[in-house]
Structure 1
Amino acid sequence: MIKLLVVDDSPLMRRLLTEIFSAAGDFEVAVARTGAEALDLLTAFAPDVVTLDIHMPGMDGLACLDQIMLIRPCPVVMVSSLTAEGADETLEAMALGAVDFIAKPRGAVSLEIDALAPELVDKVRQAASARISRATRLRERVRARTGGAMARPVPRPRAAQRISVPRGPLPADGLVLVGCSTGGPPALDALLGRLAADFPWPIVVAQHMPASFTGPLARRLDRLCALGVSEVVKATPLHPGQVYIARGDADILITRRAGLLTAIAAPSDPELYWHPSVDRLVSSAMAQVAPESLVGVLMTGMGADGARAMTELRTRGGHTIAESVDTAVVWGMPGALVAADGASVVAPLDRIAGELMALFKA
């Protein structure tokens, strides 16, 4: 059984969430009305995973999360509103150590939450198995508190696993394609924050998120990174040293306009489960760019989005990097790439930026 602690000041939300997870059959549920009650239950109940409302009287969700990560680190899923303010708070929570978030229903909670129940259960079940490192989360909390101003941590001496023989240097023109989901925002910070402003290729990112969150994510990364970071909301020509974040609830495609590589936001493909789709991004890029001029990076996230297309990319002569199980919060997406023999290199998160730069110096 998965021991779940539901922390919410709303009696209705506590009741509805308890009913949903109890009905799933593999959860033992305890509830807390306040942040203080939640901290008391950390030892008494010893939860495997916590759902935590951001807005609570007294100790709010962010303050409670900070204490959870200090007292007894465990996977935390934030309960957030789909607003600009809610997005900023949720991204801050993920920088403080939360592994994922679930969105509150927009309208009548009791009417809409049943439709959200399968996603809620799936996310929390996956989060319960997420890897939480006390040292990593402490570093993330300090960086969040200082606005990213502290010095970047020195990578631990963990070697990347090279699955193919290194090739010669990459061509002058190409693209880096990055896919991630659960645990992705801090992973993107760790990856992009280690790249210099003169990085030679554009970087296009598909992070599974709602549309109201990807704009705030892009703005947050833009503040923390030397590279320029923006959200793709219209046809956007791609330039070296720039990062392009796919708009949520849509897909991002690579095309050519007036001879220039361009990213466009496209309606999400209903046949695909996750959006923005990493598979669709990579497939569209292979239709426009020679495989040897593409590098795919697949990082933390549940499911297998990106594994199929990146495996094809490697087969056709491209280069692919999978985040290793050592650092991935959820080793679903990169694990699927490794299982399909689609990864050229498997590397811990703190080595992926170095692997990218090494490709240009080969």
Structure 2
Amino acid sequence: MTKILIVDDSALVRRVLGDLFQAEGDFEIAFARDGSEALAQLHAFQPDVVTLDVEMPRMSGLQCLDRIMVERPCPVVMLSAVTTDGAEETLAALEMGAVDFVPKPTGTVSLAIDLFAPVLVEKVRMAASARLRRTHRLTERVRARNRGRLEPRPQLPPRRPATEPSRDPSGQGLVIIGTSTGGPPALDTVLSGLPADFPWPILVAQHMPASFTASLAQRLDGLCALRVVEVTRPTLVETGTVYVARGDADMIVSKRRGELVVLPTPASPEHRWHPSVDRLVASAAALVPPKRLLGVLMTGMGNDGARTMKDLYSAGGRTIAEAEESAVVWGMPGELVMAGGAEVIAPVGDIADRIVRMVPAG
């Protein structure tokens, strides 16, 4: 049995989610109405996974998550409002250690449960077996045990772009990064490790709803030396820039007047996850020589990107798969490794350096 702690200030939401997981037949369930009750249950019930509402009175979901990750780290799935503020709080939660999130349906939860339920159950099951970063908040956990109190987290200053982007020259290559569950913190690590003069544009497909990808791009832009933008319309590909695919759709590479562009396109029914990594890689491979493409597949549930990156590697392109030791979920990169399509297997902290070494300087 998987022990799940449902934390929500709404009695209706607690009842609906409790009935949902009870019907699955393999969950032992406990409830908490707010952050204080959640922390008490954290030690008394010792859950395998927690669902945590972002917006709660007295102690917010982020404050509660902060305490969970210090006092007794365990997998947490956030339930987030589909708003700009909700997106920013959710990204902060993922950086703080939450495994994944599910946008709350608008309107009455009980009326939208048929669409909401399968996604939530799948993500909770995945989260229960996810790998938490063993060193995450380690210093604070030790201090909390020794002193019985929390210490503030250090804040890193934002890294601003050091150069203006320039138009994509003829023969330019592309780096394509695909990721899903656990992806935002992994993107933080990799993209912030690349220099401002990195010579190839970077395309990112992160499985995420449309209401969240703009906030993701803005957050990454504040952390990276490279410029980071969300692709909402046909956009010329330029060096010095990272292009984040808009959520709930796909992004493809095309050519206009002989120059590479990226553009959003409706989600393909042939692909399960969106923005689709497979579709992005295939579109790039149709226009750019394999030796000018580097595919990077990182943490995520499922197998999106594994097939096309394997084909890219077989055709002479280069590929990197995140190592199992650092991936929250070793689904996508693991599929690439098992298919024999990973030229390099590296933990997330080493991937930026690997990318720099594998991409020609000019």
Is TM-score (shorter-chain normalized) higher than 0.5?
A: yes
Structure 1's 227 and 88: CA in aligned 2 closer, same or farther, altered over 3 A?
A: same
Query: Over residues 212-232 of structure 1, what are the superposed CA-to-partner deviations in whole Å (9 max), with x where a residue is unaligned?
Result: 000000000000111100000
Q: Give me the whole-angstrom Cα distance separating, in 2, the residues matched to 1:271 and 1:150.
A: 39
Counterparts of 1:196-275 in structure 2 under 5 Å? 196-275=195-274
By how many angstroms is 1:258 displaced?
1.2
Q: Which residue of 2 aligns with 1:358?
A: 357
Which residue in the other structure is 2:136 paired with? 136
Does 2:11 correspond to 1:11? Answer: yes
Cα distance in 1 for partners of 2:179, 2:106 equals 26
Gap regions ≥5 residues in structure 1: 152-170
Deviation at 1:28, TM superposition (A): 1.1
Q: Return the alpha-carbon distance in structure 1 between the equivalents of residues 269 and 75 of structure 2.
A: 30
For 1:296, the aligned partner's letter is: G
Letter in 2 for 1:35: G
**Residues 253 and 263, structure 2, Cα contact 8 Å, conserved in 1:** yes
TM norm structure 1: 0.91
Q: Which amino acid aligns with 2:305?
A: G
How far is the alpha carbon of 1:243 from its aligned partner?
0.2
User: Is residue 276 of structure 1 aligned with residue 262 of structure 2?
Assistant: no
Corresponding residue number in structure 1 for 2:24: 24
More deviation in 104-113 or 321-330? Answer: 104-113
User: Is residue 188 of structure 2 the alignment partner of residue 180 of structure 1?
Assistant: no
Paired with 1:303 and 1:223, the residues of 2 have a C-alpha distance of 30
- Residues 15-42 of structure 1, C-alpha deviation per residue, up to 9 Å, x if partnerless? 1111111111221111111101111111
Q: Which residue identity lines up with residue 201 of structure 1 in the other structure?
A: W
Aligned length: 342
Q: Deviations over 1:286-315 (max 9, x none)?
A: 001001100000000000000011010001
SS at match of 1:136: coil
CA distance in 1, matches of 2:100, 2:137: 14
Q: Which moved more, 1:259-268 or 1:23-32?
A: 23-32
Q: Look up the equivalent residue of 2:22 and give its one-letter code.
A: S
Measure how far apart 1:90 and its partner are: 0.4
Q: Structure 2 CA distance, aligned partners of 1:150 and 1:67?
A: 25
- Partners of 2:206 and 2:275 within 8 A in 1: yes
What is the rounded CA distance, in whole Å, between the counterparts of 1:114 and 1:251 in structure 2? 25
Q: Residue 135 of structure 1 aligns to a residue in which SS?
A: coil
Distance in 1 (alpha carbons) for counterparts of 2:285 and 2:315: 9
Partner of 1:56: 56
User: Is the CA contact 2:100–2:181 (under 8 Å) kept in the aligned structure 1?
Assistant: yes
Indicate whether 1:98 and 2:106 are aligned.
no
Q: Hey, what's the Cα distance between the residues in 1 that align with 2:156 and 2:261?
A: 30
Find the counterpart in structure 1 of residue 65 from structure 2.
Answer: 65
Structure 2 segments unaligned to the other structure (5+ residues): 142-149, 160-169
Deviations 1:103-150 (A, max 9, x none): 1111221110122111110011001111112423458999x9555329
State the AA in 2 paired with 1:250: A
The amino acid that maps onto 1:66 is: D
Match of 1:338 in 2: 337
Query: Do 2:133 and 2:328's aligned partners in 1 also have CA atoms closer than 8 Å?
Result: no
Counterpart AA for 2:183: G
Question: CA separation in 2, counterparts of 1:220 and 1:253?
Answer: 23
Contact 2:158 2:223 in 1 (8 A): no
**2:328 aligned partner:** 329
TM-aligned CA distance change 1:59 to 1:134, over 3 Å = farther
Any runs of at least 4 consecutive aligned residues in structure 1 with deviations exceeding 2 A, and if so which? 136-142, 144-151
Is the 8 Å Cα contact of residues 70 and 140 (structure 2) preserved in structure 1?
A: no
Counting only pairs closer than 5 Å after superposition, residues 124-163 of structure 1 correspond to structure 2 as 124-137=124-137, 145-149=153-157
| 2:307 aligned partner | 308
Distance 1:131 1:149 in 2: 28
Distance 2:298 2:174 in 1: 17
Alignment CA distance shift 1:72-1:59 (3 Å): same
Q: Percent identity?
A: 60
Identify the range of structure 1 (115-124 vs 212-221) with the bigger mean alpha-carbon deviation.
115-124
User: For the residues of structure 2 that align with 1:94 and 1:30, how far apart are their CA atoms?
Assistant: 23
Instruction: Name the amino acid aligned to 1:279.
Output: D
Listed one character per residue, the Cα deviations across residues 242-285 of structure 1 (whole Å, up to 9, x for unaligned) are 10000000000001111111100000001211000000000000
1:43 is displaced (CA, Å) by: 1.4
Q: Which amino acid aligns with 2:48?
A: D
State the distance in 2 between where 1:316 and 1:125 align. 36
Distance 1:150 1:268 in 2: 33
Q: Aligned residue for 1:46?
A: 46
Secondary structure in structure 1 of the residue aligned to 2:136:
helix
**TM-aligned CA distance change 1:63 to 1:44, over 3 Å:** same
Amino acid in the other structure paired with 1:339:
M
Q: Distance in 2 between the 1:247 and 1:361 partners?
A: 28
State the one-letter code of the partner of 2:9. D
Q: Partner letter of residue 103 of structure 1? A: P
Q: Deviations over 1:189-242 (max 9, x none)?
A: 000010011100000000000000000000000001111000000001111121
Distance 1:201 1:81, change over 3 A: same
CA 1:326–1:275 in structure 2 vs 1: closer, same or farther (change >3 Å)?
same
Task: Work out the CA distance in 2 between the residues paired with 1:321 and 1:140.
Answer: 32
Q: Please, which moves more after superposition, 56-65 or 126-135?
A: 126-135
